[in-house]
Structure 1
């Protein structure tokens, strides 16, 4: 039986990793399917990564891995993974399923591409694979996808004819899960203009899918495509509801020395009730937050009560966070903090290092929370919402509630507010200031004179440099390094720092979007240059790696100018050597920060938890691209 919750899957998977042993093939398949069903294709990719390195991959595992990559949006890897199942050596159900998935991958590429020959080719490829699968099996899944694509490519009569044939075939598809049969009938009804019948079938599909929101997300993506050709009835959209992704930001409990009431301890019960009501009314399935005393922990407890996933991000070392953001409220809140970390679905840290007095880390963590929620919502084909426990008149700081809410509103996403001032007025007996003792001394934590700043680091090097002969050095210096120097000079996205050594390039950007745009510009100009005409090998290319994190800006006495130091510089440097030639690989932090900002025409596709260079452990990496690039 599939695992009931994501926590079950994570506990089982990490248990194997901790014991340094691999699950049996059937158990691996079960865990990967559960992760995919629960709407976490990135985790499914991780579970399947080890067997996918072997030559004799089981066809079922290969199909599932390709599906996971397709749901992430990494169509290049999805197509490469399914390709071995498309030759003549594979027959029967495996061949039909492989062609159906190849059709889906081509269709999704078609949807992403701009108008032009490449898009037309992708549509033709999708129709060919879907058509072959339908002709060989009369399986409703490839049939209904072909019918929809016929409509989207301007063939309405052929679309309706195929939709009728597919509907007639559904009763015979007894092996197909109920939710897919109902979704197929709903889609056929839409193509035939039977809106009320479509809504009923989709409602039945969602009920049959249960907790498997990944399947419902696939239905929603298909509807979004159909919406380009027909009007989708409100009843159908309502039927395909998925549990919401909710981000929380809110004030901490007032400390005992605070003389102006904002969130006095006596208001806890009223605030907790409002948060619980919002969580239930919004139908939350996935919550993203920090874990400070007050609003954060009340939100976590409300999520746990309703069985939602809880994803906590702390800005720095968890013991330092306990000291700065929980301990002042007393032992009861300390116990709740520890319980929250114990029961959360996932707990991550913006940085693994200590606080060191760097307030900017709070804003960094808030952006990571936002980006994580946006990326997860994208996989579910929905938008996240923010729940804010806010006192608009209260002072704010970096990463605080007001700052966080302003950033969210700038993203254009929905939010809901719980007004602390209104709650204080409604409960005057609980609104007295908390001050019961003199202000404490600041928390004594190890600090430094220098302060970290969040920056984006880019490392790049020439592919094949080590194979150049001594006679090639002048061409390399004049043409390759010279060309990169011109790109830097011409770019509208100017770095704050540039350094080179050998074939290596190190740049630092103040803004993550500037760094990402420069990386793609650098990639494109290197890839389209005719290097043989400039005395360099035809395969000349570039690897680019990027990471965004807090670093120490300081004067470098050797270079005689400003430079950047710290563990996050090293981490960025360890990404570049594992990047594919002609590609830009970015850390999960960079991907999350880009998602948190939005509106920049950039996208990232998950690659997996990959080993970094020089024994620096592993890191979740993404491929950077423009939004209108297929891959």
Structure 2
């Protein structure tokens, strides 16, 4: 077992590269086992904050607040106090527009309290910026002047401290209207940050707020740009890649990765161009995240083995070097269901977009296409590239491959028509009503009329977008056509129950609904008992295992559901990471998110 110091460094490294969910999982596992280190908890809660999981971070902050009453080293004391202020800032920026100025002032005051107790540029400059955003310009600039004076007296010995000192200097200069000094300080900050991409992202997000309030062009922030994220797509099969053609492709991939300053790549590992992409990324030291449509060994045999042992060896090396975990559309068999490729592709897109959002950078598609006549060949890449760009995201065609020679192994057609009765991707909800089992007999007809009646009215409003709805007792099962519909339906159900006031109908006031949601491939069936179309499969069972661990009044969803929502360009919903937690009935651990409606965006005014 690693020491606490070693574990802290692991968590910090995961945060630096933007893998904030893994950072929280690493920290929380040890904390749940009884570890009392306040520093480990600090870095774990910071990871949650950087994941956008503000409420979850606040829920875990209490032991840190208690620690501040005792003897805590100065540097950790500043960090803990600043973390609380940061969480208040995040609440302000995502909360109701009408309350924003008041909430920003509250966060500014929290930062200023830390600065007053322990004069340090970091809490000081944050207090300055938030006071400015709250409309208190004179006070903000007074603090900024003090921060600049403090920066001039410090000589940090560590690169991380040097970065935050120069970033604070730049932010204070910007608050005072000195753009030239801010630009010079940002250049010095960028030269000392190394590969701490999360630090760059945090500074960019903060300074973008300040630039917006002060009318400053955000091109000033260019020195702090973080590496971009890429999802790569290519035709399956290696028949179009004889050695000289593969070398040409590899050269184009290398140039594209360099020109777009790529740091993180997502994709599958079929023989041919996809493995070439993965190898190029790994040789450059980039982070590779692998998404497979079905279980690994069957994938190897269907998508790699037909092209020979060398491609199998290359597949194995790439998979071993990829950053865990490997994501699967299903860990079960292929069964001829081409829809699994589509599901895996959309999951990869959502994961790439989530990573890009965490690092305040761009997500882009790299595509290798085929030189085929209209109506010929495999069009999976074209289809998915069209979906990506249709969502408004940028894409590059890296290369076009010639058609395979006659007699070459025929790759599996990922876009082939779905087999009759094969799995299709749906979004599912399971729910139950807490307190139902304690209802008296006389209350059951009231429950059916009021609670189930409310369910019915909400579900009917979605029409054919919710093709399956069923209840038994207090249980609720819903199938929606897509994640956006599923999210809207789940939250509409919770909102309707929240306004019902059960006690006014003769029911206990503590009745409450909990809902779990998941998106995945399921079998359509004509249920011979119920007499209508329904869906079944492992992913239905997975959905059912989320509901029992969900708090009353909430909606918990899986990572696959959250990834699907990331593709909603309208941004109507937000998902906040809860943790890697055990599902019900020994189903194993799942990464779970709490689902909410996204706050209405509002411009910051100074």
Give the aligned partner of residue 18 of structure 1. none
Query: What is the Cα deviation at residue 448 of structure 1?
Result: 8.7
Give the aligned partner of residue 9 of structure 1. none
**For residues 17-57 of structure 1, what are the alpha-carbon distances to aligned partners after superposition, in whole Å with 9 as ceiling and x for unaligned?**
xxxxx543223222212211221111111012134447883
Equivalences, count: 590
Give the aligned partner of residue 516 of structure 2. 545
Query: What is the Cα deviation at residue 328 of structure 1?
Result: 2.5
Give the aligned partner of residue 443 of structure 2. 472
CA contact (8 A) 2:4 2:37 kept: no
Other structure's SS at 2:214 match = coil
Query: What is the Cα deviation at residue 236 of structure 1?
Result: 2.6
Query: What is the Cα deviation at residue 310 of structure 1?
Result: 0.6
Query: What is the Cα deviation at residue 110 of structure 1?
Result: 1.0
CA contact (8 A) 2:465 2:481 kept: no
1:21-40 alignment runs, 5 A limit = 23-40=2-19
Give the aligned partner of residue 396 of structure 2. 416
Give the aligned partner of residue 561 of structure 2. 590
Give the aligned partner of residue 108 of structure 1. 90
Query: What is the Cα deviation at residue 208 of structure 1?
Result: 1.5
Unaligned runs of 5+ in 2: 602-606
Correspondent of 2:149 among 168, 171, 195:
168
CA contact (8 A) 1:65 1:81 kept: no
In the alignment, the residues of structure 1 paired with residue 28 and residue 207 of structure 2 have an alpha-carbon distance, to the nearest angstrom, of: 31
Query: What is the Cα deviation at residue 492 of structure 1?
Result: 6.1
In the alignment, the residues of structure 1 paired with residue 342 and residue 376 of structure 2 have an alpha-carbon distance, to the nearest angstrom, of: 11
Give the aligned partner of residue 530 of structure 2. 559
In the alignment, the residues of structure 2 paired with residue 102 and residue 595 of structure 1 have an alpha-carbon distance, to the nearest angstrom, of: 27
Give the aligned partner of residue 604 of structure 2. none
Query: What is the Cα deviation at residue 306 of structure 1?
Result: 0.8
TM-score of the pair, normalised by structure 2: 0.91
Give the aligned partner of residue 213 of structure 2. 229
In the alignment, the residues of structure 2 paired with residue 335 and residue 145 of structure 1 have an alpha-carbon distance, to the nearest angstrom, of: 51
29-38 or 551-560: bigger deviation? 29-38
- Using a 3 Å threshold, how does the CA distance of structure 1 residues 526 and 493 change in structure 2: closer, same or farther? farther
TM-score of the pair, normalised by structure 1: 0.88
- Using a 3 Å threshold, how does the CA distance of structure 1 residues 559 and 194 change in structure 2: closer, same or farther? same
Query: What is the Cα deviation at residue 488 of structure 1?
Result: 1.5
- Using a 3 Å threshold, how does the CA distance of structure 1 residues 161 and 270 change in structure 2: closer, same or farther? same
Other structure's SS at 1:116 match = helix
Query: What is the Cα deviation at residue 323 of structure 1?
Result: 2.7
Correspondent of 1:372 among 345, 351, 356:
351
Other structure's SS at 2:270 match = coil
505-514 or 483-492: bigger deviation? 483-492
Other structure's SS at 1:211 match = coil
Correspondent of 2:185 among 167, 177, 201:
201
- Using a 3 Å threshold, how does the CA distance of structure 1 residues 439 and 606 change in structure 2: closer, same or farther? closer
- Using a 3 Å threshold, how does the CA distance of structure 1 residues 142 and 474 change in structure 2: closer, same or farther? same
In the alignment, the residues of structure 1 paired with residue 443 and residue 509 of structure 2 have an alpha-carbon distance, to the nearest angstrom, of: 13
In the alignment, the residues of structure 1 paired with residue 224 and residue 208 of structure 2 have an alpha-carbon distance, to the nearest angstrom, of: 11
CA contact (8 A) 2:211 2:218 kept: no
- Using a 3 Å threshold, how does the CA distance of structure 1 residues 484 and 442 change in structure 2: closer, same or farther? closer
Give the aligned partner of residue 336 of structure 1. 314
Give the aligned partner of residue 130 of structure 2. 149
Other structure's SS at 2:578 match = strand
1:121-270 alignment runs, 5 A limit = 121-172=102-153, 177-233=161-217, 236-253=220-237, 255=239, 267-270=245-248
Q: Does 1:281 align with 2:262?
A: no
CA contact (8 A) 2:234 2:273 kept: yes
Query: What is the Cα deviation at residue 280 of structure 1?
Result: 1.7
Q: Does 1:407 align with 2:393?
A: no
In the alignment, the residues of structure 2 paired with residue 493 and residue 202 of structure 1 have an alpha-carbon distance, to the nearest angstrom, of: 53
Other structure's SS at 2:567 match = helix
Give the aligned partner of residue 362 of structure 2. 383
Q: Does 1:461 align with 2:432?
A: yes
In the alignment, the residues of structure 1 paired with residue 511 and residue 93 of structure 2 have an alpha-carbon distance, to the nearest angstrom, of: 32
Give the aligned partner of residue 307 of structure 1. 285
CA contact (8 A) 1:246 1:287 kept: yes
594-603 or 502-511: bigger deviation? 594-603
CA contact (8 A) 1:364 1:399 kept: no
Other structure's SS at 1:457 match = strand
166-175 or 402-411: bigger deviation? 166-175
In the alignment, the residues of structure 2 paired with residue 475 and residue 565 of structure 1 have an alpha-carbon distance, to the nearest angstrom, of: 31
In the alignment, the residues of structure 1 paired with residue 545 and residue 371 of structure 2 have an alpha-carbon distance, to the nearest angstrom, of: 43
CA contact (8 A) 2:237 2:303 kept: no
Unaligned runs of 5+ in 1: 1-21, 256-261, 422-430
**For residues 151-199 of structure 1, what are the alpha-carbon distances to aligned partners after superposition, in whole Å with 9 as ceiling and x for unaligned?**
1111222221111101111245556711111110111111122222212
Q: Does 1:526 align with 2:508?
A: no
Other structure's SS at 1:66 match = helix
